[in-house]
Structure 1
C-alpha cells in the first residue's frame, strides 16, 4: 500500500512539473507575441503557434487572451519590481531608494529589448506600478516636493512608458537610463544633491535575484493569474 501511494505521489509530482513547464512555455511565447503585436491584436492561434502547443493544451492553462495577458504581465513586470525593491531595501533614504529603483528599471529595460517592448505595450492595461512606499515617504519628508502620490504617478507614468518604448526600439545610448532617472527626479522637484547622490551611487546587483524570482514565477504561474488546477 505504501509503495502504491508513493508511486501515485510521484506521478502527481511529475504531472505538475510537466504542467508548469508547459505553462512557462506558453507565457514565454506570449511575451514575444504581446511585445510585437500589443495586447489587443493577438488571438489564441497566435500563442498556440508561437508556443508550439495544441489549442486544447492552451485551454488547459488559460481561459483566453485576457487571462494570459494578466499572467504574462505579472511574471515579467510585477516580479521584476519586487526584485528591485528587494535589492534596495537596505539602503537608507526613500528618495535614494526610489531613484536607484528607477535606474535599475532602466538597466533591466536596456538589457532586454523584448521585455521593454512588452512593458511599453501593456502599460495601458495596468501592467506596472511604482514602488509607492518609498514614493509616499519621500513626499512626506519633503524629499520630493509634489502634492501627493497621484500627482507624482501621473507625472512619471507617461514619460517612463515612452522611454521604455524607445529603449525597446533600440534608439537610445548607454547613458539614457541615468538621464531619464535624472529628469524624473527633477520632475518630482528633488534637491540637486539628492539627484547627484542617486546618480553617483553604485547600483546593487539585480540580475541574479531577478533570475531566481523569474524561475520561481515560471514554476507557479497560477499564483500570478494562471488557472488554478
Structure 2
C-alpha cells in the first residue's frame, strides 16, 4: 500500500482525539468506530484489533511531525534558527490542531514512542549547533537539554490551548528563552525568535504517505 486510505486517516484522527480527551492509552472498537464515523467492520479491516494502537499512533505522530519539520526547514543552514523555528512551528500546529496538541501534552513525557518528536529534527539541530560552537552546553548534557526543551514546549502548548497566549507570542518567547539558555546572546536570541516562519503543512491528512496501520 503506497498511502493511507480515507478510512485510515479518519481512524488515525479519531484515535488521537480519544486518547487526548481521556488521557488513557486504550479505547474500544465501538468507541473508535463512532469517533471515526465508520463501521466496526472498517476498524477490524484496517487494524485487525486494537492491540498496540496507542504505540502505532504515537510513533506515527512523531515520525510525521519530524517529516514536516524537515520539509519546512529545508534550505535553512543555521542550526539555532532551525531549532527556534521548529519550536515555534510546534506551537502553531497545536493551535491549528488542538487534539494534536492535547495528545502531545498528555503523553509527550511518558510515551516512549513520542520521544522521537524531540530526538528527530530538534536533536539534529542541537548536535549541529554544538559542533559549530553555537551553543554553550557540554555534549554529555544533551539528554538534559532535550528534557528541558521538551518540557518547555509542552508548557507553552498548554498556554496556547488554554487561550492564555497566542501561538505566535508563546512561540517567540519560547524560542528566545531556549536559545538564551543554550548560550546565545540575548539580542541574537531575540532577533532569531522573531524571524518570519517558513511554509508549514499544518492540518494535512494523517497518517503520512507510506505510514499506514497494519492490516
- Is TM (by shorter chain) over 0.5? yes
Q: Partner of 1:90 in structure 2?
A: 75
Aligned residue in 2 for 1:34: 19
| 1:151 matched to 2:140 | no
When residues 29 and 184 of structure 1 are mapped into structure 2, their CA distance, relative to the original with a 3 A threshold, is same
The CA deviation at 1:135 is 0.9
What does 1:203-222 align with in structure 2 at a 5 Å threshold? 203-207=197-201, 210=202, 214-215=204-205, 217=207, 220-222=210-212
Query: Which of structures 1 and 2 has the larger relative contact order (alpha carbons within 8 angstroms, sep 6+)?
Result: 2
Matching residue within 107, 118, 129 for 1:129: 118
Rg comparison, structure with higher value: 1
CA distance in 2 between counterparts of 1:112 and 1:215 reads 11
Is the counterpart of residue 175 in structure 1 residue 165 in structure 2? no
Q: Determine the structure 2 residue equivalent to 1:162.
A: 155
Compute the displacement of 1:154 (Å).
1.7
- Number of residues of Structure 1 aligned to a counterpart in Structure 2: 206
* Counterparts of residues 1-229 of structure 1 (less than 5 Å): 20-40=5-25, 42-65=27-50, 67-123=52-108, 124-125=110-111, 126-127=113-114, 128-130=117-119, 131=121, 132-148=123-139, 149-173=142-166, 174-207=168-201, 210=202, 214-215=204-205, 217=207, 220-222=210-212, 226-227=213-214, 229=215
2 CA distance for matches of 1:215 and 1:25? 9
TM-score when normalising by structure 1: 0.77
What's the CA shift string for 1:66-110, capped at 9, x where partnerless? 532233334444312221222212112111111111122222222
Name the SS of the counterpart of 2:165 in structure 1.
coil
- Whole-angstrom distance in 2 between the partners of 1:20 and 1:175: 37
More helix by share: 1
TM-score by length of 2: 0.81
Q: Distance in 1 between matches of 2:181 and 2:205?
A: 36
Q: Which stretch has the larger CA shift, 40-49 or 179-188?
A: 40-49
Q: Deviations over 1:147-191 (max 9, x none)?
A: 222121122122212222332233323411111121222222222
Distance change (3 Å), C-alpha of 1:41 and 1:133: same
C-alpha separation between the residues in 2 aligned to 1:112 and 1:199? 22
Inter-CA distance 172–200: structure 2 relative to 1 (3 Å threshold): closer
* Inter-CA distance 65–182: structure 2 relative to 1 (3 Å threshold): farther
Equivalent position SS for 1:161: helix
Tell me by how many angstroms 1:37 deviates.
1.0
Q: Which blocks of at least 5 consecutive residues in structure 2 are unaligned? A: none
